[in-house]
Structure 1
Amino acid sequence: MSNELKYIFEKTDCVSTEMLLKYHRGELSNAEKHRVERHLLTCNACSDELEGIELAGDLDAAFFSDLSQWPENKKVKKAIFDGRWKLLAAAAITILVLLTSVITLFVYYPVSDTQLAQEIENMQNQPASEQEEKTRTIEREDKFF
């Protein structure tokens, strides 16, 4: 490739890519063919573009010849669960974590019925002013969190 820059957004006297494609396929008249050949002698960018078209043309032919050898009705194996296994795995992990958390909570922080009954009895035996004070204290603490 040349060191000269071709500004692709400026209008130039270069031939179009469509014209180069037609030249490569041999679809141009003699006059158009002569014009393209004269331009290619002076423009390195268009020469490089034509070279790329020629290389790509060879690749296209090879690609389509390989493609035509493939059977048309080839069955494609479907993945197990059609990709749903990821969703099932995520759900199973979530359930496992939740169950582990609940079991751990009850094992390390057991609350017996007697403790619960005693707390309720203590609250009922306290005067109303103390209960209101505890409630206000709890409300103040909740505001900070």
Structure 2
Amino acid sequence: MNEHFNDIFVTTGCPSQQQLLDYVQGKLSAAEQHEVEMHLADCELCSEAIEGLSAIKEKEKIPGWIIEMKWNLLKQLRLRSRSRRKLETYIYLAVLIFGIILLLLGAFWAYYFINRK
């Protein structure tokens, strides 16, 4: 994945997505589970994530869904970035063409006024 679109949990003190999934699936040791629960007491974002993950019945499919959502989001961000770059290119070309037209008009007027005398 592109480094600009890293996982939001990487730069925080929040548990990783895998830790949250393991917590919901009951795969953590007692110490790890306690650590996650201590964090959940202070972090509204993670608490909401756990609440949402707990509501899903087919928990074994969650990792696949997360990967699919990440790729779809990344594709959308890339498309948006490409369209923005396309627009910038068109603006650059329009300004360049306008500048060339102004130079040609200036050259024509200069030639016209020089030869008119």
TM range (shorter): 0.3 to 0.5
More helix by share: 2
Larger radius of gyration: 1
TM-score, normalised by the number of residues in structure 1? 0.33
TM-score, normalised by the number of residues in structure 2? 0.41
